[in-house]
Amino acid sequence: MNSATLRQTIAGPCGPIECAIDAPAAGVVPRGVAVLCHPHPQHGGTLDNKVVQTMARAFVQLGYRAVRFNFRSVGGSAGVWDEGRGEVDDALAVVVAFRESGLPLALGGFSFGGYVASRAAAVLSGTAPAERLLLIAPAVLNFPMAAVPALPADTVLIHGEADDVVPLSAVLDWARPAVLPVTVVPGSGHFFHGQLSLLKTLITGAWHP
């Protein structure tokens, strides 16, 4: 993301996981750790995806240490594509590696990464729940998203009005039973082209102080 981004490898369930860590300014004590999940590995998704980088910038501005990582088989991460199952395990391994005692955990994901973040949040909900969840254009059609009641009540969900990968109507159908609010970006497609600055502002504006 910038020259201060720290690249680190951690042990994962099927080998090394490549991570990128961005921290608040020097001297600022982090208010929490945000683990962020990238889009579909078989469609070019990596930790350097522009939407995921935007999420990281937003969390750093909010005072979090932001951790992006490559799912198994992507970049420097070992393993092979596991159709979403093992990728949830990858996210949980990153949480274990970077979660700090006493600091809140935030989870976030874009597209396929939204599915992974939702499943990871559901797994953690019974023992060590995440403080909050951020979902950007989550892949509600092709993957078994966690049920909304299993997620933090103040989950932030942002979607593009003109998303042609995950239709807005599908996200509304998923969110409706639990009355989870959806912030809609008018005219935006799946990748928020030309609207990343607005996306960052929406994230920081939606997060509690």
> Check: CATH 3.40.50.1820 for 6-206?
yes
Give how far Cα 44 sits from Cα of 60, 92, 190, Å: 25, 22, 14
> Residue 209: its pLDDT value, please?
62
Tens place of pLDDT per residue across the chain (209 aa): 667 899 999 999 999 999 999 999 888 889 999 999 999 999 999 999 999 999 999 999 999 999 999 999 999 999 999 999 999 999 999 999 999 888 999 999 999 999 999 999 999 998 899 999 999 999 999 999 999 988 998 999 999 999 999 999 999 999 999 899 999 999 999 999 999 999 999 999 999 76
Number of Cβ within 10 Å of residue 205's Cβ equals 10
Q: How far apart are CA 201 and CA 54, in angstroms?
A: 10
> Residue 4: its pLDDT value, please?
87
> Residue 126: its pLDDT value, please?
86
Give the start-to-end residue ranges of the domains of the chain. 6-206
Which alpha helices (H) appear in 99-188, and where do they start and end? Answer: 112-124, 168-175
> Residue 156: its pLDDT value, please?
97
> Under 8 Å CB-to-CB from 187, ≥6 apart: which residues?
160, 161, 162
> Residue 36: its pLDDT value, please?
98
